[in-house]
Every structure is written in structure tokens, then in C-alpha cells.
Amino acid sequence: MKTFTEEQVATLSGLGVNSQVGKKELQDGADLLLRSGFFSKVNYKFETHNDAVTVTYHVEEAPRLPVAYDNFPWFTDGELAGAIKVNLPFFDGTLPEGGTVVDLAGNSIASFLTEHGLKAEVRHFVLADPLLDAPVQQFQVEGVTQRIASLDFSDPALKENLAVQQHLGDIRGKNYSRLAIDLFLSEAIRPIYQQQGYLRAKIGPAEVRLSGNPNQKFPEDINVYVPSVPGSLYQWKGAEWKGNNVLSTETLNRTLGLKPGDTANGMTIEGGWERVRSAFGQLGYLDVKISPEPVYDDQAHTVSYRVEIAEGKVYRFREMTITGMSLAGERLIRDAWTMKQGDVLDKVAFEQFLTTLESHRDTVFKGLPVHYDTVGHWLQTDSEKGFADVLLDFK
């Protein structure tokens, strides 16, 4: 998608109309465009006419990520974006993964902080945003001492929820960080909504609520406000399965564990997809792909799922490779392993065997002194021949 104008590309190239150029300057302009990070590919051609040169740059734009500001409680996102625009006028809230423009944005924020009496180092990195479920280009300032004093929600029911109150102790007193707050909302608060059937609840983004004299020193303990709207409560309607041959629709519905009319517990639904994967894995379908797509009926307040299944092929056990274990211990491991060469590789049995090795080792080693902290484990598949090898590494 084309988002840059010709004038903007020219600005980023560092070349100006009527400036003296040679082949080196034209190549330098192409290099500047690449180093900016905005472009993944740059080619150019030029034509001369008398003493004038016309250059045409052919560019492919690189993917860009939304910008997030982690721990700048003193300023709004708009103020920080405005600071970036001082040096990058066409900044639109997105930046590439790397390049000189990302460094320029960070330096612009640092200069803005210095102007307001806050001398601090600003760094940036790409990470997965837990609320957007997508990568963002995040800016973070070093040395923030402000702490989260409280977390308040706009939904009264959420404020009164006992589980929420118990979880709040995990975030209070921590250094202010949007990332920490977003992780907390994603891992501790959203599941509470999900369990109750509020599958499309909106939580956040968090806001800093200030009070008192704005000319006084910024308080060390700050209050955070979280907009939270539960939305509709959904009931389970059912699942429509497509692509399943090995397991019947009845078996899959039973494995999923929900009946029509049940509250659509989001955590039960997520666990259901894992149970379905395990059911296929137990039959040797190690590459199975489950693709559930929700279908919401906002009038009836129900949710159903269209589920595409790509079963893949059956894998059979071929051999086991063991490293980091004595010969006596290895013999006992092989004695405890029940699958024979050519048997369907039961992934559930494999995982149960790992649990035994990690938590109930005496069941396998029968008093033999063994010393290991972890068991590295892999299933190495040969898709062409339909075999799977078990690899165990004791450390």
C-alpha cells in the first residue's frame, strides 16, 4: 500500500531540487531511504539533460507497527506524538520495526522530556501487545520512579468482584508501566469476564488520573483508571465442524464440553480447543490444525463457532534417543516406555510419560540414584514416511 508522497520520499532521501549531485549522491540518497526503515527495497534510475539530472526512486514500503508509549505518565499520547512530529512531520502513529526514523523518534521524545525538566534515556523495541494481540513499536523511558497506587474500573460489578480485589495486590506498588498494566488486564482481569460469558468485553486502555496542583512535582504514587464495559452475556449455541473424518461431530462436541444454552464460558471454550487437539494427538495426528471462528448473534445473545479442521497424517513411533542419562537409567526408561516401533504415536501418552519422568521419577527408576533437573523433549517427525522419533535430553 502506498502511503508516502513523492515529496516525502524526496525529503527522506536528503536530496533537494537544484542541489548539485553526482552518482555518489544519488546512491547516498538510496542508502538513506533504506536506512530509514520505511522501505524494504529501493532502486533508482536517472536521466541527464544538458546540466540537469532527473532521478526516479522506485521503493517498496516496509511493514509498519503501531507506536505505544509505555511509562510516560507525565504526558498524553498526543503530546508525545507531537514531539515526534517536530522532526518527522508525516508521522502517523506508526513506525517500521527498525531504522534511523525509529531512532529519530526516540531522540525527539528524549528532547521533549528534557525541555520539561525530565532528563532521561528513551529506548525502543518491538514487542507483542497483550491487548491488541499484535506487535507494536514501544518506547520506554529509563528510571521512572512513579508507582501504581490504585487501579480503578468503570464497571461497578468489576470493582466489587472478589477475584478482582484479590488480584489487585499483584499490581499495586509496582513501577508505572502500561505494559505491566496491560499484561495484568489480559492475564488477571479479562479471564474473569470470559468465565462469566462476557466474550466481547472491552477493557482499557488504562488512563492516568491526576489531581491537585498541576504546577507541583508529579506525585510518586499515581492512580490508574481503566474503562471497562462487559457488553453482552453470551450463551453457547453450538459448533459447526468441517474437515473432520477421524472423529465424529458427536465426539468433538462431547470433547468440547459445552451444551446449547450453557453460559459461553470463554475459558472453557479455549480449553475445549486444546482438548480437541489432544484427542487427535492421541490418535497420532500430530500436525492437526484447529481453526475456530466465532459467530455472534447479538439479538439472541448466543455464540456459535465454525471450526475448520486439517487433520494431516498419522505418525507412528520409530525410535527413542536418550542423552544425559546413565546406561542403567536408559534401560529403565526404555522398559517403562510402552510404545513399540510401528505403533501409532499417542501424544497424550507421550506427555504423561514426561510428567512421570519429571514428577514421579521413582516409578521409572525404581530406586536407582539418578540426578537431573530438567528433561528436554522433542517429537521429531518425518512427514514423508509418517514416522516420529522421541528425543529425551536429561540435564
Q: Which domains does the chain have, with CATH numbers?
A: 6-61 (3.10.20.310), 65-141 (3.10.20), 147-211+220-229 (3.10.20.310), 235-310 (3.10.20.310), 316-394 (3.10.20.310)
Q: Find the mean pLDDT for residues 267-286.
A: 96
Q: Find all residues with CB under 8 Å of 134, minimum gap 6, and list them.
A: 65, 66, 128
Q: Which 3 state secondary structure label does DSSP give 52?
A: strand
pLDDT (average), residues 145-150: 88
Q: CA 377, 381, 383: angle at the middle one, nearest 5?
A: 170
Is pLDDT of 387 > 60?
yes
In this predicted model, what pLDDT tens digit does every residue of 178-195 receive, in sequence order? Answer: 999 999 999 999 999 999
| Between 16 and 121, the higher pLDDT residue | 121
Summarize the confidence of residues 64-85 as an average pLDDT: 92
The reported pLDDT for the residue numbered 145 is: 79
Residue 4 has pLDDT above 80, yes or no: no
**DSSP sequence for 260-309:** TTSB--HHHHHHHHHHHHHHHHHTT-TT-EEEEEEEEETTTTEEEEEEEE
CA distance 160 to 85: 42
Residues 229-249: what's their mean pLDDT? Answer: 96
Residue 1 has pLDDT above 50, yes or no: no
Q: Residue 283 corresponds to which cell in the numbers above?
A: 490418535
| Phi and psi torsions of 212, nearest 5° | 95, -170
Mean pLDDT of the chain: 88
Residue 102, pLDDT above cutoff 80: yes
Q: In angstroms, rounded to a whole number, what is the distance separating the alpha carbons of residues 323 and 308?
A: 39
- Separation between Cα atoms, residue 273 and residue 292, nearest integer Å: 8
pLDDT at res. 386 = 95
- pLDDT for 47 equals 67
| Mean pLDDT of the 270-295 span | 97
User: Does residue 204 contact residue 224 with C-beta atoms inside 8 Å?
Assistant: no
Q: What pLDDT shows up at residue 5?
A: 72
pLDDT for position 119: 82
Residue 210: the pLDDT is 65
Distances (CA, A) of 133 to 66, 129, 367, 377: 12, 5, 47, 29
**pLDDT for 333 beyond 70:** yes
How much is the average pLDDT of 262-282? 96
Q: Distance between CA atoms of 248 and 226, rounded to whole angstroms?
A: 44
**Residue the block writes with cell 506498588:** 173
Residues 226-250, mean pLDDT to the nearest whole number: 96
Q: Which of 25-34, 154-163, 295-304, 350-359 is the least confident region?
A: 25-34
pLDDT band at 208 (very low <50, low <70, confident <90, very high): confident
The arithmetic mean of pLDDT across residues 192-213, rounded, is 85
Specify whether the CB–CB gap between 203 and 190 falls below 8 A.
Answer: yes
pLDDT of 215 > 60? The answer is no
Q: Is 252 exposed, middle or buried (0-12, 13-18, 19+ CB in 10 A)?
A: buried
- Give the per-residue pLDDT at 116: 86
Residues 256-274 have a mean pLDDT of 96
Total-model pTM: 0.75
**HEC secondary structure over 368-389:** CCCCCCCEEEEEEEECCCCEEE
Over pLDDT 90: what percentage of the chain? 66
CB 368 within 8 Å of CB 329: yes
User: Of 26-40, 82-96, 209-223, 291-305, where does mean pLDDT reach its minimum?
Assistant: 209-223
Grid coordinates of 298:
447479538
- Residue 26 makes CB contacts below 8 A (sequence gap 6+) with 15, 44, 46, 53, 55
- pLDDT score of 154: 94
Where b means 16+ CB within 10 Å and e means fewer, 19-38 reads eeeeeeebeebbebbbbbbb
CA distance 215 to 288: 60
392 membership: H or E segment, kind and range: strand 387-394
* 223, pLDDT greater than 80: yes
Q: What is the mean pLDDT of residues 307-315?
A: 96
| E strand or H helix that includes residue 57 | strand 52-61
pLDDT at residue 240 greater than cutoff 50: yes
- Angle between helix axes 347-359 and 266-282 (nearest 10 degrees) is 100
pLDDT at 242: 97
